[in-house]
């Protein structure tokens, strides 16, 4: 079944446009620019909406960026899908994924929402998890209590470059999704993920051998003088010369 609706998740406004939570916006905006589609604000749907032309066999597919903030992403999607009679299996939601490192991009249908507030609202409004997801890795702060602040922060230059590379790989397979070859798109995307060059790990510095410590010099013990007999030398001579004299 071909994808007829591509929804990028994020938060509207200048203060959020460069944050990790807007990775879904980044991908859809780049795809619209490549395809020559114009995203226009539609107050009826509370979203930026564009439609693809006939180039590449993607005629009729809709591109949507909800402008109702992440926690209410499901409302614009529900209204558009209902208006154009688009089934859940024909919807592709693009979003940030903290469980993947920057540079990862994965495609799947259904599954859990892993605490993502945008997906939570979408699943509740569609009453199903069976829409497709294109997940863009943004990394994890290491503490689940810090995730909310982390996704609303800007990635480092290194992480942003990795995220952009993942988006570029995902854009290569997006036409396959729109044409209905989702299994082929999944295989190609995940194969490209495995073929990424391994990160160079810093080589350990050679350990310098410690110079042998000089052996301690033996302590010189003072020479012991022979103990003189009682009475001294004179007493000894006297006893030898006069053996019968009492001492």
Question: Could you read off the pLDDT of 171-183 as tens digits, one per residue?
Answer: 999 999 999 999 9
Of residues 225 and 118, the one with the higher pLDDT is 118
- Residue 194's pLDDT is what? 72
The model's pTM is 0.77
Strand partners, 96: 136
Q: What local confidence, expressed as pLDDT, does residue 113 receive?
A: 81
The answer to whether residue 133 is domain-embedded is yes
- Determine whether 78 is exposed, middle or buried from the number of CB atoms within 10 Å of its CB (0-12, 13-18, 19+): middle
Determine whether 140 is an active site residue: no
How do beta strands 62-66 and 5-8 pair?
parallel
Domain span at residue 51? Answer: 5-194
- Please report the sign of the dihedral spanned by the C-alpha atoms of residue 191, residue 197, residue 202, residue 207: positive
Report pLDDT for 164. 97
Least confident of 119-133, 151-165, 186-200: 186-200
Query: Over 70: is that where the pLDDT of 120 sits?
Result: yes
Residue 67 DSSP code: -
Overall domain count for the chain:
1
In a domain, 10, yes or no: yes
Say if 90 falls within a structural domain.
yes
Q: Average per-residue pLDDT in the chain?
A: 84
* Torsion angle of the four alpha carbons 138, 46, 80, 21, in this order, in degrees rounded to the nearest 10: 0
Q: Is position 175 within any domain? A: yes
104: nearest Cα among 5, 180, 20, 193: 193
Residues 179-212, buried b or exposed e (16+ Cβ, 10 A)?
beebeebbebbbebbeeeeeeeeeeeeeeeeeee
Q: Write down the pLDDT at residue 214.
A: 55
Torsion on CA atoms 28, 29, 33, 34, rounded to nearest 10? -30
Residue 246 within a domain:
no
Contacts of 230 (CB under 8 A, 6+ apart): none
In a domain, 81, yes or no: yes
Strand partners, 106: 135
Catalytic residue among 21, 95, 129, 242: 21
Residue 24: what pLDDT? 97
Q: What pLDDT shows up at residue 200?
A: 45
Q: What is the pLDDT of residue 211?
A: 54
Q: What's the CATH number where 82 sits?
A: 3.40.50.1470
Quickly tell me which residue has 């004179």 as its tokens: 234
Q: What is the pLDDT of residue 53?
A: 77
Tell me if 202 is assigned to some domain. no
117 vs 86: CA distance, rounded Å = 22
Q: Summarize pLDDT for 70-112 with one digit per residue, the tens.
A: 999 999 999 999 999 999 999 999 999 999 999 999 999 998 8
Query: What average pLDDT does the segment 115-140 reach?
Result: 95
Q: Would you say residue 231 lies in a domain?
A: no
The pLDDT assigned to 208 comes to 52
CA distance 195 to 42: 41
For tokens 């952009």, what's the residue? 164
């Amino acid at each position: 079944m071909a994808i007829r609706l591509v929804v990028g998740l994020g938060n509207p406004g200048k203060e959020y446009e460069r944050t990790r939570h807007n990775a879904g916006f980044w991908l859809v905006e780049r795809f619209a620019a490549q395809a020559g589609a114009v995203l226009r604000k539609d107050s009826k749907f509370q979203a930026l909406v564009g439609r693809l032309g006939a180039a590449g066999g993607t005629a009729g597919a809709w591109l949507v960026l909800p402008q109702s903030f992440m926690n209410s992403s499901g409302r614009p999607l529900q209204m558009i899908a209902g208006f154009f009679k688009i089934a859940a299996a024909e919807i592709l939601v693009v979003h940030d994924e903290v469980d993947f490192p920057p540079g990862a991009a994965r495609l799947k249908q259904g599954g859990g929402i892993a605490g993502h507030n945008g997906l939570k609202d979408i699943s509740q409004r569609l009453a199903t998890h069976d829409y497709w997801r294109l997940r863009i890795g943004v990394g994890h702060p290491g503490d689940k209590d810090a995730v909310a602040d982390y996704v609303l922060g800007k990635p480092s230059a290194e992480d942003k470059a990795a995220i952009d590379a993942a988006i570029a790989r995902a854009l290569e397979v997006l036409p396959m999704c729109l044409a209905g070859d989702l299994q082929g798109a999944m295989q190609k995307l995940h194969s490209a993920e495995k073929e990424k060059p391994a990160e160079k790990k810093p080589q350990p510095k050679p350990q310098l051998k410690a110079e042998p410590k000089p052996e301690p010099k033996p302590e010189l013990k003072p020479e012991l003088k022979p103990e003189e007999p009682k009475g001294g030398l004179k007493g000894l001579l006297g006893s030898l010369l006069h053996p019968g004299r009492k001492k």
